[in-house]
Amino acid sequence: MNRFFGFVKKEFQHIFRDMRTLLILFGLPIVMIILFGFVVTTEIRDVEVGIWDRSMDQASIRATQKIFSSGYFVPAGYIDHEEEIGDLFRSGRAKVVVVFEEGFERNLRRENHAAIKLITDASDANTAQLSLTYLQGVLMTYFQSVNQDVEMPWSVNMKSRMFYNEEMKGVYMFVPGLMALILMLISALMTSVTITREKEFGTMELLLASPLKPREIILGKVTPYVLLSFTNAMTIVLLGFLVFDVPVKGSLWLLMLECMLYITLALSLGVLISTSAKTQQMAMFMSMLGLMLPTILLSGFIFPIDNMPKVLQWFSTIMPARWFIVVVKNIMLKGTGFAFIWKETLIMLGMTLFFILASVKRFKIRLN
């Protein structure tokens, strides 16, 4: 046992001696949560809007003023030819051009029908769609208020309740995903590379020849990463709470337990990768391309699984992160208990067992 602790201590020293790496390991969750909280948002602001007003009457001028006083849009200038739209878009000076038809106010008053054309630069499809939704909202609200004098009887009023996220903060969505990503990164990627490194440099043979048992070597290698990962998970929870008021509605203990389960799962995956990779480069690319990108994209972290094609939805079921994200969302944001997450927990347990058995088997084959 003493020998084992000595080995773990050596592994710790190895990690802690490298200040730069340490800084990155602890800085990563902080930078990520700030990015996702403030930068990677789907809100828009200061979108440049060009105006092509073909009637220049009171209604269109008022509407234009309304658009720019909303806070989301800034003027990119007036134009009076269709060709100018292309110029504005190609040079990136405007993202949207609002076109008021000729005789806008007259049509509105006399014929009860007027049209506004919203031309968007859809080469940035996302900004296009968001700006359009916002603009529509601004215009609709404005013309509704203009017509306030007209009585509006017989209407159904919609009262919306935003469950689990009253203020509709974007960061709620990202906290669970970020935990899944960073734990996967540190546990799977880093352990697989560390172990492969020993193999590549031939020092693994040395360790295997020592009185340490193979399982002690593996345990010794992964122990520091368990602690690192766990610290990082808790940093994210704490930062989410302090900076963005993301709550932990359910049991903190249950959350910690589930984190440990996921970390074990990721570590066993890392060990499995290291048994099949010959060089660090190989381990790195296997983890990076086989784990990181799918974890980001196929786990429901950023892109909802329900919106994916069926094949990918099916594929996402083998992503450990997918199940962990559901668990974290349930415990932290919905405050549900174990009753709602036992299925996901079982799946993760099953995966862990599978990876451990597979690595033991591969390891034995190698030794023979």
Partner 1 sequence: MRIIATLLVKEFKQIFRNRLMLPIIFVVPVVQMILLTYAASLEMKGISMAVVDQDYSQASRLLVSRFEGSPFFEINLATSNYQEAEDKLTGDQVDVILHMQHGFEKSLYSEKETDLQLVVNAINATEAGLINAYCTQIIADFNGQVRAEWFGLDGADRITNLEIIPRYWYNPLLDFKIYMFSGILVIIVTLIGMLLTALNLVREKEMGTTEQINVTPIRKYQFIMAKLIPFMVIALFELAFGLLIGRLLFGLPIVGSLGLLFLFTCVYLLAVLGIGLFLSTISHTQQQLMYMAFFFMLTFILMSGIFTPADSMPIWAQKINLANPVAYFMKVIRMILLKGSDFRDISREFYSLCIFAVIILTLAITNYRKTT
Write out the binding residues for partner 1, residues 258-277 only, by CB under 8 A: none
Which region, judged by CB under 8 A, interacts with partner 1, from 13-21, 49-57, 223-231, 258-266? 13-21
For residues 296 to 335, the per-residue mask of contacts with partner 1, x marking binding by CB under 8 A and - elsewhere, is -xx---xxx-xxxx--x-------------x--x---xx-
Tokens of 222: 């992964």
> Which residues inside 33-62 make contact with partner 1, applying CB under 8 A?
35-36, 38-47
Tokens of 160: 């919306």
Q: Residue 2 or residue 46: which is nearer to partner 1 going by CB?
A: 46
CB of 302 to partner 1, least distance (A): 7
CB of 111 to partner 1, least distance (A): 9
Q: Residue 157 or residue 368: which is nearer to partner 1 going by CB?
A: 157
CB of 364 to partner 1, least distance (A): 25
Sign of CA dihedral 49, 55, 57, 60: negative
Find all residues with CB under 8 Å of 308, minimum gap 6, and list them: 298, 316
Which region, judged by CB under 8 A, interacts with partner 1, from 141-149, 206-214, 231-239, 251-259? 141-149
Tokens of 202: 């031939």
Burial per residue of 130-156, b for 16 or more beta-carbon CB atoms within 10 angstroms, e otherwise? bbbebbeebbeebbeeeeeeeeeeeee
Question: Cα 290–296–297 angle (5° rounding)?
Answer: 90
Spatial CA neighbour of 269 closest among 187, 365, 197 = 187
> Which residues inside 148-177 make contact with partner 1, applying CB under 8 A?
150, 152-166, 168-170, 172-173
Question: Cα 217–221–223 angle (5° rounding)?
Answer: 115
Q: Residue 280 or residue 352: which is nearer to partner 1 going by CB?
A: 280
CB of 252 to partner 1, least distance (A): 19
Give the C-alpha distances (Å, rounded to integers) separating 24 from 9, 124, 228: 21, 32, 12
CB of 96 to partner 1, least distance (A): 10
With beta carbons less than 8 A apart as the criterion, state whether 238 and 33 touch.
Answer: no
Q: What is the DSSP letter of 123?
A: T
CB of 191 to partner 1, least distance (A): 11
> Which residues inside 192-231 make contact with partner 1, applying CB under 8 A?
193-194, 197
> Which residues inside 77-96 make contact with partner 1, applying CB under 8 A?
85, 89-92, 95
Tokens of 94: 């405007």
> Which residues inside 228-257 make contact with partner 1, applying CB under 8 A?
none
Which region, judged by CB under 8 A, interacts with partner 1, from 131-139, 210-218, 247-255, 360-368? 131-139
Instruction: Find the binder of partner 1 among 30, 61, 118, 256 (CB under 8 A).
Output: 118
Q: What is the DSSP letter of 101?
A: P
Number of residues that bind partner 1 (CB under 8 A): 107
Which region, judged by CB under 8 A, interacts with partner 1, from 5-13, 127-135, 215-223, 352-360? 127-135
With beta carbons less than 8 A apart as the criterion, state whether 88 and 76 touch.
Answer: yes
CB of 21 to partner 1, least distance (A): 5
Query: In whole angstroms, what separates CA 194 from the centre of its chain?
Result: 27
CA distance 42 to 303: 13
Instruction: Find the binder of partner 1 among 140, 206, 252, 318 (CB under 8 A).
Output: 140
Q: Residue 203 or residue 279: which is nearer to partner 1 going by CB?
A: 279
CA distance 287 to 194: 12
Which region, judged by CB under 8 A, interacts with partner 1, from 121-129, 224-232, 266-274, 349-357? 121-129
User: How many CB atoms within 10 Å of residue 63?
Assistant: 21
Examine residue 18 and tell whether it contacts partner 1 (CB under 8 A): yes
Spatial CA neighbour of 333 closest among 259, 235, 237, 266 = 237
